[in-house]
């Protein structure tokens, strides 16, 4: 019995045959992170990281400066109040009285503005309110009182302290993003400058 061969039988399926002779095509990924694209992604990530670090550093630096300003205002106000009964010159007492009023009002008005900059006057660290420099200043003033040269020493020291406060205000003003804070600092700077100059130019009659 002869078997009739069907020419269609045992022939490779055309699709299978094409699969065998065609080179395996690499599957495309939706995101190809190789070559230039990968380098671009890495560069972009680095830029984002640097920007985040700069913003964080700037914020911390700003908070540190505003806290220092707040501390100087509080410390100098206390020194001005404690010195009231030690001043001999009536002219200097008047200037000191003006300074006390100025500092009291400034601390009151700047408190909510500094709070928006993450600085709370009531929560200032003791390290800013009781520095070695402040202790040394108090000791110098006490020595001056004992040696009857308080007025002369007080005006010199206060002129220096107020100048430091003015410099801090100027530094914060340059970096502040808050319009209300900048406006307040500008006005306060103008009002404090003549008081600082009165201390700097005061001529003591002490011998």
Q: Please, are residues 99 and 80 in contact by the beta-carbon 8 Å criterion?
A: yes
Task: Please report the pLDDT score of residue 206 as a whole number.
Answer: 75
Q: pLDDT band at residue 163, thresholds of 50, 70 and 90?
A: very high
CA dihedral 159, 164, 165, 167 (to 10 degrees): 120
Domain boundaries along the sequence of the chain? 66-120+133-201
State how far the Cα of 148 lies from the Cα of 86, in Å rounded to an integer.
Answer: 10
Please provide the CATH number assigned to the domain covering 66-120+133-201.
1.20.1260.10
User: Has residue 126 got a pLDDT over 60?
Assistant: yes
Does pTM surpass 0.85?
no
pLDDT in tens, 69-123: 999 999 999 999 999 999 999 999 999 999 999 999 999 999 999 998 889 999 9
**Cα 1 from Cα 57, distance rounded (Å):** 96
Q: What is the reported pLDDT for 15?
A: 52
Q: What's the rounded Cα separation, in Å, for the pair 197 and 192? A: 9
d(CA 178, CA 110): 13
């Amino acid at each position: 019995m002869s078997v009739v061969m069907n020419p269609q039988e045992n022939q490779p399926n055309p699709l299978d045959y094409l699969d065998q002779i065609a080179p395996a095509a690499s599957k495309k990924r939706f995101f190809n992170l190789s070559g230039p694209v990968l380098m671009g992604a890495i560069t972009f990530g680095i830029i984002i990281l640097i920007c985040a670090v700069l913003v964080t550093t700037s914020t911390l630096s700003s908070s540190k400066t505003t806290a220092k300003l707040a501390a100087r205002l509080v410390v100098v106000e206390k020194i001005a109040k404690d010195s009231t009964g030690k001043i001999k010159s009536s002219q200097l007492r008047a200037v000191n009285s003006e300074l006390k009023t100025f500092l009291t009002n400034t601390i009151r008005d700047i408190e909510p503005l500094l709070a928006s900059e993450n600085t709370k006057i009531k929560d200032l660290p003791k390290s800013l309110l009781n520095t070695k420099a402040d202790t040394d200043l108090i000791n110098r003033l006490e020595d001056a009182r004992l040696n009857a040269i308080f007025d002369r020493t007080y005006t010199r020291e206060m002129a220096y302290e107020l100048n430091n406060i003015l410099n801090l205000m100027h530094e914060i003003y340059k970096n502040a993003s808050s319009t209300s804070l900048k406006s307040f600092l500008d006005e306060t700077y103008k009002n404090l400058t003549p008081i600082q100059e009165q201390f700097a130019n005061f001529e003591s009659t002490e011998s």
